[in-house]
Structure 1
């Protein structure tokens, strides 16, 4: 079981704007902000999650490579669609429009976008297709 995951970004302000808009469509919001001063010079960090628990972190403390893939659970297909629209409006690039991906399983409904740092970000709903 994964407790949390973190990605590094070249521009934390740009990443915050992108993820504030994109993750809100999934009910995920900024839960914690850690300044560079608080980390003793080891970068600033933003913690996104729900119910006071950050599980997705962004930071500017290391190299960026755009090689990560992160998939967020969406409560329904409409949330996948909303995630995709929000991501494109916030500066993300299309990497797979919302739709069924039956090669994973019959009701795998997902959308994929490339974030401003080149990471492949997905929203997926595993429920029955509408």
Structure 2
């Protein structure tokens, strides 16, 4: 159901310390880090991200889809239900060669994504 979750945080170092301690008992560790982003996960996947932001608080949740048509339907249904467009369905080559996604902002301001890597 979930592919990954990203949280915008005001202080990356404070959040890194908190989540490293909290997630270590669950088997997760830092698997990616740069000046603005820290990823937590395992050798197999990095499903939890912290991103430094001047506007922390709104979450990013990504749902997995089996095919591109489902991503398209997600986008249409979310807009009909009151969501705001934040990225029409399409390939996102910066994320991977087959990464097909759509983004909407929910009524509370959270960034919601549906994606598939199916061709």
Q: TM-score range by the shorter chain?
A: 0.5 to 0.7
Give the SS at the match of 2:112.
Answer: strand
- Name whichever structure is richer in strand by fraction: 2
Is 2:71 aligned against 1:80? yes
Runs of 4+ in 1 over 6 A off after TM superposition: none
User: Structure 1 residue 119: deviation in Å?
Assistant: 0.1
Q: Which residues of 2 match residues 51-130 of structure 1 at below 5 A?
A: 67-128=58-119
Distance 1:108 1:66 in 2: 26
Distance 1:121 1:75 in 2: 17
Distance 1:70 1:112 in 2: 10
Change (3 A) 1:97 1:66: farther
Count how many residue pairs are aligned between Structure 1 and Structure 2. 66
Give the SS at the match of 1:72.
Answer: strand
Distance 1:77 1:122 in 2: 13
Distance 1:111 1:102 in 2: 13
Distance 2:85 2:57 in 1: 15
Instruction: Check conservation: 1:67, 1:120, Cα contact below 8 A.
Output: yes
Normalised by the length of structure 2, the TM-score is 0.52
Unaligned stretches of 5+ in structure 1? Answer: 6-64
Normalised by the length of structure 1, the TM-score is 0.48
Change (3 A) 1:66 1:97: farther
Give the root-mean-square deviation of aligned CA atoms: 1.8
Give the SS at the match of 1:95.
Answer: strand
